[in-house]
Amino acid sequence: MATGGYGDANQRIDYVFKVVLIGDSAVGKSQILARFSRNEFSLDSKSTIGVEFQTRTLVIDHKTVKAQIWDTAGQERYSLSFSN
């Protein structure tokens, strides 16, 4: 069973997941974040400038899980560099 909410600041966290949403501009990254973190969805949204951050704490199988989700601007706003 999963429950959502913003959690208590003194709550023990069993797991922390850090997720970065990347992709082309206007594909719905911000809407995924809004739906997951605030249970909101809007057809009228603006482009993300830079990076936005949200968290949500869930209880899954009696474990407290904190999701930290970063929403990036579309790929045209930044460049990624990967090295081997």
Q: Is the confidence at residue 5, as pLDDT, over 90?
A: no
Q: Are 78 and 28 in contact (CB under 8 A)?
A: no
Domains of the chain with CATH codes:
2-75 (3.40.50.300)
Element (H, E) at 72: strand 63-72
pLDDT value, residue 14: 97
Tokens of 24: 């082309």
Q: In this predicted structure, what is the pLDDT of residue 3? A: 47
**pLDDT tens for residues 9-66?**
677 999 999 999 888 888 888 898 889 888 888 877 777 777 888 999 999 999 999 9
Write down the pLDDT at residue 9: 61
Q: Are 25 and 73 within 8 A, CB to CB?
A: yes
The pTM score is 0.63
Spell out the SS3 assignment of 27-71.
CCHHHHHHHHHHCCCCCCCCCCCCEEEEEEEEEECCEEEEEEEEE
Report pLDDT for 57.
95
